[in-house]
Structure 1
Amino acid sequence: MAEEATVDYTLNNPDTLTKYKTSAQISHKVLDAVIGWCLEGEKILSICERGDKLLEEEVAKVYKGKKISKGISHPTTISPSSFVTPYTPLSSDAEEALIALKANEAVKIQLGAQIDGFGTIVCDTIIVPGEKNKDDKLVGREADLLLATHHANELLLRLMIPPGLLASGTDEEKKKAASEKPLSQTKITHLLEKVVKSYGCNLVEGTTSWLFERNEIEGKKKIVLAPSSEGGKGEGVPEIGDVWGVEVGVSLGTGKVKTLENRPTLHRRTTITHQLGRTSSRRTLSEIVKKFGTFPFSLRQLADERAAKVGVVECVRSNVLRQYEVVADKDSVPVARVLSTVAITKNGLVRLTGPSAPDESKYKTEKKIIDEEILNILEQPTARLTGAKGKNKKKKKKSAKKVAEDDDEESSDED
């Protein structure tokens, strides 16, 4: 224990960022594979199982022989069109096990890996290939939804940068910028609403970004977007040295949500201890602790899925486990969701994981962002760029301005 206490697990230790980056590479590699499997008629359960198997295989390839924990930080989940939360059906629930993907529906894919307790999670939204979006072109409301989500995510990432961190100019100007107060979460929600409403969309209520820590994906700080009347409120502000899971949810409807009757199959161990009465409960919890620690898991990942469904009941009732309810859009309309894992360093944001940037030349919509305040923020960099990376700065600025210009004109320039 004494040796454990001497280890620096903050970003001040270069090994910490290396482990985050390693887990992020695995997360992205598996995400790319899972996206390729998401075709019309494919069963969600089968894709989730294949995704978890690939996560385990890729994790096994790194840090061989090292006495550190490593594994899955978030199981593969595939959430259909109107589903908001991560969804992962069980083979023992016959009806849900048969659910297959439909052409042209918005599907949310979420998964993650962890090395030595440093977990990264990524979520991206895709439109399942179909006749309507052949040749990878998106038109109408699907285009509105994904563009609104992309630009809202880019805006939120910039709003998370501590005041003055990337300020330029004289020392006096830098000092003045650094003295500004961080934006309130009410203001953050207000700015993001401007973005999504430009595309005729709304934020999903209660979407939450969390501080990530070692062996913890729901730390002491959080940002809650569009909080509901019953929901919690945000706490704390992003600071240098933080790692965050940054999430954005956007709906083609009002953004209000409802809890479905589907069985909760995603769980996570809490820090609460309790003397469990049932042998089956203790056996299930013991397996969970050994395999997953405090990271989320699906009941299908346990040795005996049917026994697990029984064993978790007392664990949830005693608050030893938290179960994630299956939540969907109240209007039953398509929802998009993205999640990035970012580290805040003295040079700005390090994007460890995140959704892929859309090729906007293939998105056909008459809607666009015209608010100058939003456009100016989107033009700001997320990190200091030097050397060869500086060449990309102009491209990023151009992309931000592009949302306020005609798509047909800009798409040829962007190429």
Structure 2
Amino acid sequence: MAEDTATVDYTLANPDTLTKYKTAATIAEKVLKEVSGWIKADANIIELCDRGDKLLEEETAKVYKGKKISKGIGHCTTISPSSYITPYTPLKSDVEEAATTLKEGEVVKIQLGAQIDGFPAIVCDSVLVGGSDEVSGREADLFLATHYANELLLRLMVPPSVAPTTGTEEEQKKAAARKPYTQSQITQLLEKVTSAYDTNLVESTTIWLFEHNEIEAKKKIILAPGEGVKGEGLPEVGEVWGVEMGVSLGSGKVKTVDNKRTTLHRRTDQRYALKRPTSRALLSEVTKKFGTFPFSLRQLEDEKAAKVGVIECVRGGVLRQYEVVADKNNEPVARLFSTIAVTKNGITRLAQPPAVDVSKYKTDKKITDEEILKILEQPIGKTSSNKNRKKKKKPAKKAAAADGAEEEESDEE
């Protein structure tokens, strides 16, 4: 049995791996759409999170029936209020937090994920509570900045050797020969987008390499890094990444919300001899139910006991806690999260937020930087019918039409 496990190919070279990623992605996108439809003023956050988790469990139960593989929630449902940056999931036993509801006009972030056989697909979208068919003012600036920054980031992550390009053969060869963008260059280019809308990147937004049973592998890209923070590595063909984009109407600087309990955790590979029975019981339940994927203490059988047991688990390093982080000046923040595969044909969006209709956002601000517009014009992946996708937009219209390139996804066999 051990030999069989050791010989399993968990890379994208194994078609079964990509199939499982895509299955998890389909579920994550479906549940995200459902949860987004529940967003309205005065809706209770805990109730929405519970409903989202239940739907994730129901949908994952429908696939790979009879197979002895792990499947279920790859990231518990979280709903973060306006200025919150990190995923937020309050507890029923914290009376004040349990009463938290959504407010009309605030920007909320919905994040969740599914996993099939240890292959996760995580998504996050930002939604305006009570939003109409038309959004104007600073909220429009925020949503457009986040959308275009995310589109630019994906294009900057494509390895030059497989980057789909338009233009002459000579231009394509030149593009393929260029060096990959450094993490510093990526941040600088993204800041041109956010500054166009008078917004800022969220400090130390981190993009992680995904692996089997792991959403924080050895490589990471850090945008607008804080002091002493540094990323490691860039995307390569055959890898899966969790791509996050965070934009703030404030300075983008962050703070830990001291009066908010840390409720989101995940198991690490650290070994530690836990002494308290509540700690051992907690770790056992977590391992069985969630493996190494993010969970909320509200999902455990005895929430109050979990609040006690988690202390030693975090102190011993067997659980990692995700503190509640918000904009330093309590300004609204928007976030997007996609799960992508880097293939020989460019980038494939495995799981992504819904497509954005940029025409509904009304603002006088726009992207004018020619370098940015040219990059946004590029597809992120080759298709089987590239000849049908060569129509170019004029630079003056590019900022309003760049999302059309979202359809340029690779068709990995």
Deviation at 1:35, TM superposition (A): 0.2
Q: Alignment identity in percent? A: 66
**Which has the larger displacement, 97-106 or 173-182?**
173-182
Taking the aligned partners of 1:105 and 1:400, their CA distance within structure 2 comes to: 33
What letter is aligned with 1:35?
S
Q: Deviations over 1:240-263 (max 9, x none)?
A: 001000001000000001000200
Deviation at 1:356, TM superposition (A): 1.9
Q: Which residue of 1 aligns with 2:351?
A: 353
User: Do residues 219 (structure 1) and 217 (structure 2) align?
Assistant: yes
Q: Which residue of 2 aligns with 1:118?
A: 119
Does the CA contact (< 8 Å) of 1:149 and 1:248 recur in 2?
yes
Q: Which residue of 1 aligns with 2:22?
A: 21
Q: Which residue of 1 aligns with 2:38?
A: 37
Does the CA contact (< 8 Å) of 1:287 and 1:302 recur in 2?
yes
Taking the aligned partners of 1:401 and 1:268, their CA distance within structure 2 comes to: 46
Q: Of 138, 155, 158, which residue of structure 1 is paired with 2:155?
A: 158
Taking the aligned partners of 1:12 and 1:337, their CA distance within structure 2 comes to: 31
Deviation at 1:404, TM superposition (A): 4.5
Helix, strand or coil at the partner of 1:164? helix
Q: Which residue of 2 aligns with 1:233?
A: 230
What letter is aligned with 1:346?
K
**Which has the larger displacement, 168-177 or 141-150?**
168-177
Q: Deviations over 1:145-173 (max 9, x none)?
A: 00000000000000000013135689887
Q: CA RMSD in A?
A: 2.0
**Which has the larger displacement, 93-102 or 173-182?**
173-182
User: Do residues 194 (structure 1) and 189 (structure 2) align?
Assistant: no
Q: Of 249, 254, 261, which residue of structure 1 is paired with 2:251?
A: 254
Taking the aligned partners of 1:171 and 1:271, their CA distance within structure 2 comes to: 48
Does the CA contact (< 8 Å) of 1:90 and 1:299 recur in 2?
yes
Taking the aligned partners of 2:112 and 2:189, their CA distance within structure 1 comes to: 28
Taking the aligned partners of 1:385 and 1:108, their CA distance within structure 2 comes to: 31
Does the CA contact (< 8 Å) of 1:379 and 1:401 recur in 2?
no
Q: Which residue of 1 aligns with 2:409?
A: none
Does the CA contact (< 8 Å) of 1:150 and 1:357 recur in 2?
no
Q: Which residue of 2 aligns with 1:57?
A: 58
Taking the aligned partners of 2:394 and 2:200, their CA distance within structure 1 comes to: 23
Taking the aligned partners of 1:138 and 1:56, their CA distance within structure 2 comes to: 34
What letter is aligned with 1:17?
L
Q: Of 310, 317, 332, which residue of structure 1 is paired with 2:315?
A: 317
Q: Which residue of 2 aligns with 1:100?
A: 101
Q: Which residue of 2 aligns with 1:383?
A: 381
What letter is aligned with 2:324?
V
Q: Which residue of 2 aligns with 1:127?
A: 128
Alignment of 1:166-205 (within 5 A): 166=163, 176-205=174-203
Q: Deviations over 1:29-74 (max 9, x none)?
A: 0000000011011000100000000000000000000011101110
TM-score, normalised on structure 1? 0.93
Deviation at 1:177, TM superposition (A): 3.9
Unaligned 5+ segments in structure 2 are 405-413
Does the CA contact (< 8 Å) of 1:164 and 1:174 recur in 2?
no
Distance of aligned partners of 1:390 and 1:85 in 2 relative to their CA distance in 1, 3 Å threshold? farther
Deviation at 1:359, TM superposition (A): 1.2
Helix, strand or coil at the partner of 1:367? coil
What letter is aligned with 1:245?
G
Unaligned 5+ segments in structure 1 are 411-415
Taking the aligned partners of 2:262 and 2:396, their CA distance within structure 1 comes to: 43
Taking the aligned partners of 2:126 and 2:313, their CA distance within structure 1 comes to: 32
Q: Of 318, 323, 328, which residue of structure 2 is paired with 1:330?
A: 328
Distance of aligned partners of 1:103 and 1:173 in 2 relative to their CA distance in 1, 3 Å threshold? closer
